[in-house]
Amino acid sequence: MAIVTQFGDPVRVESAPGLHVKHPYPLQSVISLDRRLHILVPPPSELLTLEKRNVVASGYIVWRIADPRRFLQTVFDRTGAESRLGDILFAELGAAFGNAPMSAFVSVTPGQYRAEAILADVTRQYRHVARRDYGIDVVDVGLRRLDFPDQNRLAVFSRMKSERAQMSMKYRSEGEEEGLKIRAASEKARTSILAEAYVRAQKHRGEGEAAAARIYAESLGRGPRFYEFTRSIEAMKKTVDKDTTLVLPVDAELFRLLRDSRAPFARE
């Protein structure tokens, strides 16, 4: 855009393309201004948070000329505009950081991080001041870098490590407590299951022994002499092995079973 000035006073703004006429110099002169977006990156500034913690913040500003007359009258050119905008940014960021804790800008806890909302308020306030005082339209304001001062960085990192270690110990103790609860519940369930299984096993074992006793009784009732013979054979197996020499009288029952094939049960 072009601003026609007369003795330094802006009298006309030409923003449309085409042929335009002015009075000859030095009565009138023309100053050209760039209507495109400009990006300003001020140097980093040291600020204080709500907890009085020093931080180094670096921001950026995206701006353009909105009112060429006021722009020319207040800052005159891009250099003057960026100087004023840098001062305003430092003041607005200082106020924003001073009213918010550090966790609002750097945090992994849900609900604490709200840097976007804070920067949106800064942009809104910044836009109002720049438009009213300098004829500048501020399109966006953001953070490029957020760090601690070099002299405080080691102490801050040590404190952060200590805090993380405490959190780790807290989570570990909570985990161990939950593990103990789970193991206790599992052991209780195991004991209950084993006790129930033992009761069932004893019941089935008793039923089996009762059935076996009944079968033995029925068998004895059907062939008592055969049962006597089998018991005698089992007694011989338990008494005599390959390394044992057994001396029996002639009329011994075991000897009689071995030598006499006509044992009493054979005649039945």
pLDDT of res. 9? 77
In the beta sheet, which residues pair with residue 10? 5
- Tokens 């992994």, residue located: 108
pTM for this entry: 0.53
The superfamily (CATH) of domain 36-147 is Band 7 domain (3.30.479.30)
| SS3 at position 266 | helix
As given in the structure block, the two tokens for residue 186 are 């599992």
Alpha-carbon gap, residue 174 to 260, rounded angstroms: 82
Q: In sequence order, what are the residues at sequence separation of 6 or more whose Cβ sits closer than 8 angstroms to the Cβ of residue 207?
A: none
Tens of each residue's pLDDT in the chain, 268 residues = 888 888 777 778 877 787 877 777 677 788 888 889 999 999 988 888 888 888 888 889 999 999 988 898 889 889 999 999 999 989 988 999 999 988 888 887 878 888 888 988 988 988 999 999 999 999 999 888 888 777 766 766 777 788 888 889 999 999 999 999 999 999 999 999 999 999 999 999 999 989 888 887 777 777 777 777 777 777 777 776 777 776 767 676 666 655 555 545 444 4
CA 49 to chain centre: 27
Alpha-carbon gap, residue 114 to 189, rounded angstroms: 48
pLDDT of res. 131? 92
Q: What burial class does residue 126 get, using C-beta atoms within 10 Å of its C-beta: 0-12 exposed, 13-18 middle, 19+ buried?
A: buried
Domain ranges for the chain? 1-32, 36-147, 185-267
